[in-house]
Amino acid sequence: MNNGWNDFEIGAMLRSFDGAVNGIATTLQEDRPYSKSNSFTASVADWRIEKPIFNKDYCIDCQFCWIYCPDISIISRDKKMVGVDYDHCKGCGICAEVCPTNPKSLLMFAEQEDEDKALAGWPEKEKKEN
């Protein structure tokens, strides 16, 4: 940890990793040796007042949410939707907005909402009018 002005590297610059890394683009986030100063290790969960909850029963793994999420907070592995990274999700709601299933597989709830309760009360499929 830096203590005084003379301990810093110049330029208000942060290193993502301690030392050199190779092939990082093909390494999954959870397997990367991030440094303490990388934002991956910092939680911004308290920025959020609403959170997305994921219901895998209706998900078709279209990856729309993964593509549109501005904070890389949709966890998808081998093109299968896994869930939401609640340490970095800021609750913008874009994932729920772009979800194409009926009913949606991602919906926004109050931050304190219980996940099991939300899933139990998930809305029914909407009938098309006409």
Partner 1 sequence: MADKMELRDVEVWDGNMAASQAMRQVQIDVVAAYPITPSTPIVENYGNYLANGYVDGEFVMVESEHAAMSGCIGASAAGGRVATATSSQGFALMVETLYQASGMRLPIVLNVVNRALAAPLNVNGDHSDMYLGRDSGWIQLDAYNPQQAYDLNFIAFRVAEDHEVRLPCMVHQDGFLTSHTAQGVKTLDDDTAYNFVGEFKPMNDMLDLDHPVTHGVQTEEDWHFEHKARQHNDLMTKVFPKIEAAFDAFEKLTGRRYNIVETYNTEGADAVVVCMGTSVETAIEVAKELRADGKKVGVIGIRVIRPWPHAQIAEALKGIKAIGALDRSSPNGTFGMLYNELAGTVVNSGESKVLTNYVYGLGGRDLTKVHLREIYAELLANAEAGKPTTPLQQLIGVRGPKISFH
DSSP state of 88: T
* 8 interacts with partner 1 by CB under 8 A: yes
Beta bridge partners of 84: 74
Cβ–Cβ under 8 Å, residues 65 and 83:
no
Q: 69-89 burial, b if ≥16 CB within 10 A, otherwise e?
A: beeebbbeeeeebeebbeebb
* 20 interacts with partner 1 by CB under 8 A: yes
Site string for partner 1, 25-44 (x = CB under 8 A): -------------xx-----
Q: Which residue has the tokens 């909402």?
A: 113
Tokens of 55: 């219901």
Closest separation in Å from C-beta 53 to partner 1: 30
Whether the ω angle into residue 103 lies within 30 degrees of 0, i.e. cis, is yes
Among 1, 13, 28, 120, binds partner 1 (CB under 8 A): 13
Closest separation in Å from C-beta 31 to partner 1: 15
Among 14, 42, 49, 67, binds partner 1 (CB under 8 A): 14
Among 12, 28, 110, 120, binds partner 1 (CB under 8 A): 12
Applying CB under 8 A, which residues contact partner 1? Answer: 2, 4-6, 8-17, 19-22, 24, 38-39
